[in-house]
Amino acid sequence: MSRGNFKMLFRIFIYTIPTIIISYLLYLSGYIGFYTFVYSIILYPFFVIFTLFIWMYRNRLIESKGFRIYKYIYIGLGGWITWLITFFGGAFILWCYKIDIKSIGTPLWLSGLIFFVIPWIVGGILGYYWGKKRGFKPYGI
């Protein structure tokens, strides 16, 4: 077994063993059922392995020269931030003024367009220009 595989297995065990112990203690105390206990034993290591492989793949892509993954990160982050602000800000404004979305009279497709589609497009464009201004460098560099 190579050194890299051993480090990977060690990371998997570090993350999964405490969770399995905690879920076993919760099962013994009667807080969770048997099926939840079995699912936690089966699914949690799978998700840990999946996220570690994504992390390794991301690091290999970033280390390869000429790959501009940060451009996509800026675009995606801009879309997410804009969607969060629009969705929760719009809901907060509607809640503050006690406006029922049905009483406004806008069709459902228009509300979906305003709250779900347009923020992603505008946020992606803003994120792209923000990253372009910084030279698509990672944050903190």
Find out whether 61 and 69 touch, Cβ atoms under 8 Å. Answer: yes
What's the pLDDT score for residue 79?
Answer: 92
Tokens of residue 108, six digits: 């459902």
What is the per-residue pLDDT across 95-111, written as a single tens digit (0 to 9) for each?
898 877 777 777 778 87
In this structure, is the dihedral angle defined by the CA atoms of residues 52, 56, 57 and 58, taken in order, positive or negative? positive
Find out whether 20 and 41 touch, Cβ atoms under 8 Å. Answer: yes
What is the per-residue pLDDT across 46-72, written as a single tens digit (0 to 9) for each?
888 787 777 777 777 666 655 567 888
Mean pLDDT, the chain, whole residue set: 81
Residue appearing with tokens 């840990």: 48
What's the pLDDT score for residue 41?
Answer: 83
Find out whether 90 and 136 touch, Cβ atoms under 8 Å. Answer: no
More confident residue, 47 or 130: 130
Extents of the domains making up the chain = 3-63, 69-134
N- to C-terminal Cα separation, the chain: 36
